[in-house]
Structure 1
Amino acid sequence: MTSSDSRAPASGPELAVAGLLSRRSLTISRSTALLGLGLLALTTAWSGVTSWYILRKDDLAARLINRETSRQYAYEDRIAALRADVDRLASRALLDQDGVEARVGEIAMRQAELESRQSLVNAVAESLQSAGIGVSQAAKTPLRQRMIKPEEPIRASGVTSFAPFASRKPTPAPDTPPLRGADDRSAPWQSGEAEEPVPPARRVAEALTRLDQAIERSSATQLAALRDIDRTLGDTQKTLRGALAETGLDTDKLAAATAVARGVGGPFVPVRLDASAGPFETTLNSLQPRIAAVARLRSLVEQLPLRRPMPGDLDTSSSFGYRSDPFTRGLALHTGIDFRAETGSPIRATAPGKVVTAEYSGGYGNMVEIEHAGGVSTRYGHMSAILVSEGQMVTAGTVVGRVGSTGRSTGPHLHYETRIDGDPVDPSRFLRAGSKLAGQL
């Protein structure tokens, strides 16, 4: 019997235990193998990353440095560009400010010229008003207010200066935002986007433009006033000459002989204007001789007996000229006009002057004679009462006596005469001239 044959055959339980141990050994061996493979892969990856980092470390650092350097250069270029923009804006603002100051100075000079012209217009209007010549309301109205004062900064919608934008400090934002709708209660509701605020430079430019336009309008108004005065003077001169032509007098000679108004005077300082400077100066230069001529004519009108000796409609009973004498029935010269009126009716002076006779005078009866300018005199006869005395100065409209029938008279009436240098002339010529100037006497 061999050795192998000498082993005892294994029993059943032992075979089961041996199989179990064999399977556990096989399971442990697979887990250990997988773990080992995982560790090996991780180690290999780490080694690869470490090797790549070590190899690429200098390249990454260089890229990072280059990127940061590029950003820094970009920021510096941006800052330099912003500084250049700020400097450009500041320079532009300074230039704009110089331009604004120059325009303000020009406007101030134009305003001073405007005020000087207005004083001339006012002087012309006052001289015409004192002479009794009506002028338009535009010529009477002075400048209401100064448009711009040199001592004050120009203001345009809250902008008091035109300083460079670079010197202005930014306004800090509020710490806490306002509640929604808190600031919109007083403002009307608007749809769409909010309007952009108007730049200060534009507001100042618009304000200066408005001042320019206001000065232009005032200048045009002054020129229109002068031209209106010129037309008024032309019409007045034509009316006065036409009315005085009715008297048959040499108005130029009489106007030169009339006295100037009393209570005025002063040194003579003539106003010299360059007629080529513009339409205002040209118009004003052409006005001066016409103003003087109209003033002389107006003064002559005021001193000539152009008014009626009695109020109301005059009832003429006998005209000037040759007639049949009421007493002798022979041909005789009637040196005046007879106006029939009731006894006691007031008789008024027809022009200002000096009483040279106030007494009973033959066929005139109670008579008053008044001496006027230019050798013109008036006589009032047949009065029932004399109310002035010899040497008395009277004005136009002064009651000199009452209607009567004294002297060589057939009934109550006024015998009215006008004389030039002592020679009788037809009073109707003066009365017709006065009727043409109705409302101006």
Structure 2
Amino acid sequence: MTTRSRVHQDFGKRREPPRISYTSNGKVRALTLNPALVVSLIGGFALFTVIYLGATAYLLFRDDLVGAAITRQIDMRHGYEDRIAALRAQIDRIQSRQVLDQSAFEARIDRLTARQDGLREFESRIGAVLDKARQQGMKLPLPTSAATEGDVGPSKPLKASTWFAPAGGRPDGTDGRVTARIDRAEASIDRMAQRQTLALAALAEMAERDAGRIEAVVAKLGLRFGSLASADKSAAPRPRAAEGGVGGPLVPMIDPAVAAWRAETALDRLADLRRNAAALPLGVPVRGDAQVTSGFGGRSDPFLGVLAMHTGIDFRADLGDPVIATGPGQIEEAGRQGGYGLMVEIDHGNGISTRFGHLSRIAVEAGQTVRAGQVIGYAGSTGRSTGPHVHYETRVNGDAVNPAAWLDAGEKLRPVLH
């Protein structure tokens, strides 16, 4: 009841602004509060509070934001560094590949130079083989340094500086020109070596053929030159064995060194055979057209008419016709020897000798050295003879053998005994 009456009492009265009273120095003072000012203060305080709280929150999360930004920067830097490292590695690979390419080209040129030097040295060996062939009367052209146009022969030495750009530059082989030049040079050297090898092989075959012919003919006489057996193939140069696993079909290829060894061996063997064969009495004792009037073996004795052994061959000759040595040797006897009349006996070595009987005159003396075809006397009819002729004997270790086999051997060997 009291409250309601108080409300009614206040209705219609002007409300006073709030005041704050305080005492200062014994005096009571009053401070009137303006509502607008209060609202402004409260609003300012609220704004300040919001700003303060926002700043505080910023300060609290700033480190995380900065850390994230730094992490992104680090990631980006690492990415750039990786890309730069990859680019550098690629550049290094390109440069290394260029160096390797140039090194490979230079290595090929070094190998070509070595092969060229080998061919140049090989030419001197071929020259020695050719000299032997000429001494044996063989003529076989061997193309050596005569290279065709575009070939790189021994007269055109290889130099790496002519195949590559200056140091620091890139070889022009990147477009295939250097590779093509090297390929042509290798092909040229291969052709040159092949020509040399084939020519040496042909020369060896010719020498082996003639040597085989001499051996076959001499073998029919019951002789064999033991020191002239076939060359020992174990002494032939062997190609260097490859390292590691190898294989493939067999395609025979003649090595130049083997071909040269074979040619040299064949020529030496032929020269030895010719020298020994030339020492044999394989010629005819008379000049011109030799005619046999009585052969070797059993016949009727011209004086007694009984069967007798004729130890030689009689050749038709006129009185005073020259009688010649059928092979080189030394005069063993030169004088009168019983039924032989005036006789000359020549020792040809190795137990082989020849006798020439019924001579009218002797032109040599014992101990004298004679050559094949040299006049040793003149035909006659001395001793046990019915008329002028030449009695000719061939003896091996003192036993008479048929001279016809030796004369036949001389005919067969004449083409190869130049």
Matched, 1:418 2:382: no
Q: Specify which of 136, 140, 146 is matched with residue 136 of structure 1.
A: 140
CA contact (8 A) 1:378 1:418 kept: yes
Secondary structure of 1:136's aligned partner: coil
CA distance 1:271–1:211, shift in 2 (3 Å): farther
Give the Cα–Cα distance (whole angstroms) in 2 for the partners of residues 317 and 345 of structure 1: 16
Over 3 Å counting, the alpha-carbon distance change for 1:166 and 1:227 in structure 2 is closer
Counterpart for residue 215 of structure 1 = 189
Q: Which amino acid in structure 1 is aligned with residue 166 of structure 2?
A: A
The match for 2:293 is: 317
Equivalence for 1:162? 165
Counterpart residue identity of residue 112, structure 1? D
When structure 1 is superposed on structure 2, of 292-301 and 382-391 the one drifting more is: 292-301
Is 2:123 aligned against 1:149? no
Where 2:350 maps in the other structure, the secondary structure is helix
CA positional deviation for 1:96: 6.0
Cα displacement string for residues 143-180 of structure 1 (whole angstroms, at most 9, x for unaligned residues)? 46724436x6665xxxx86326969xxxxxxxxxxxxx
**In 1, are the aligned partners of 2:210 and 2:416 still within 8 Å (CA)?**
no
Indicate the SS of the match to 2:387. coil
- Cα distance, 1:353–1:166 mapped onto 2, change above 3 Å: closer
The alpha carbon displacement at 1:98 in A equals: 4.1
Shift, 1:313, TM fit: 2.3
- Residue 379 of structure 2 corresponds to residue 382 of structure 1: no
CA distance in 2, matches of 1:358, 1:126: 41
Count of matched residue pairs: 305
1:29-87 deviation digits (Å, cap 9, x = unpaired): xxxxxxxxxxxxxxxxxxxxxxxxxxxxxxxxxxxxxxxxxxxxxxxxxxxxxxxxxx9
**In the alignment, is the contact (CA less than 8 A) between 1:275 and 1:285 conserved in 2?**
no
Q: Which amino acid aligns with 1:382?
A: H
Counterparts in 2 of 1:245 and 1:108: CA distance versus 1, 3 Å: same
Measure, in 2, the Cα distance between the counterparts of 1:254 and 1:205.
Answer: 53
CA contact (8 A) 1:255 1:297 kept: yes
The aligned residue for residue 359 of structure 1 is 335
397-406 or 328-337, which moves further after superposition? 397-406
Q: Aligned partners of 1:391 and 1:143: how far apart in 2?
A: 53
Tell me how far 1:372 sits from its aligned partner: 0.8
Kept in 2, the 8 Å contact 1:309–1:350? The answer is yes
Distance (whole Å) between structure 2 residues aligned to residue 275 and residue 329 of structure 1: 72
What is the match of residue 240 of structure 1? 214
**TM-score w.r.t. length of structure 2:** 0.62
> What do you get for the CA RMSD once the two structures are aligned?
3.7
Between the aligned partners of 2:345 and 2:228, the Cα distance in structure 1 is 23
SS at match of 1:229: helix
Question: Is residue 278 of structure 2 the alignment partner of residue 273 of structure 1?
Answer: no
Q: Secondary structure at the match of 1:279?
A: coil
Bigger Rg, which one: 2
Matches within 5 A, 1:37-436: 98-130=103-135, 132=136, 134=138, 136-138=140-142, 142-143=144-145, 146-149=154-157, 162-163=165-166, 205-247=179-221, 249-253=222-226, 273-275=237-239, 279-280=254-255, 281-283=257-259, 293-436=269-412
- Aligned residue for 1:13? none
Following TM superposition, by how much is the alpha carbon of 1:337 offset from its aligned partner in structure 2, in angstroms?
A: 0.6
- The one-letter amino acid paired with 2:277 is V
- The AA in structure 1 aligned to 2:395 is R
For 1:440 and 1:292, how far apart are their aligned partners in 2?
Answer: 14
Aligned residue type for 2:108: R
CA distance in 1, matches of 2:228, 2:108: 50
What is residue 30 of structure 1 aligned with on the other side?
A: none
Check whether the contact 1:104–1:208 (CA below 8 A) recurs between aligned residues: yes
Equivalent pair of 2:298/2:309 in contact (CA under 8 Å): yes
Task: Give unpaired runs (5+ residues) of structure 1.
Answer: 1-86, 168-197, 257-269
Q: C-alpha distance in 2, partners of 1:238/1:163?
A: 60
Sequence identity percentage = 37
What letter matches 1:273 in structure 2? P
> Per the alignment, do residues 376 and 201 of structure 1 end up closer, same or farther by CA in structure 2, a change over 3 Å counting?
farther
Instruction: State the alpha-carbon separation in 2 of the partners of residues 434 and 224 from structure 1.
Output: 32
TM-superposed deviation, 1:338: 0.6
TM-score w.r.t. length of structure 1? 0.59
Long gaps (5+) in structure 2: 1-91, 147-152, 242-252
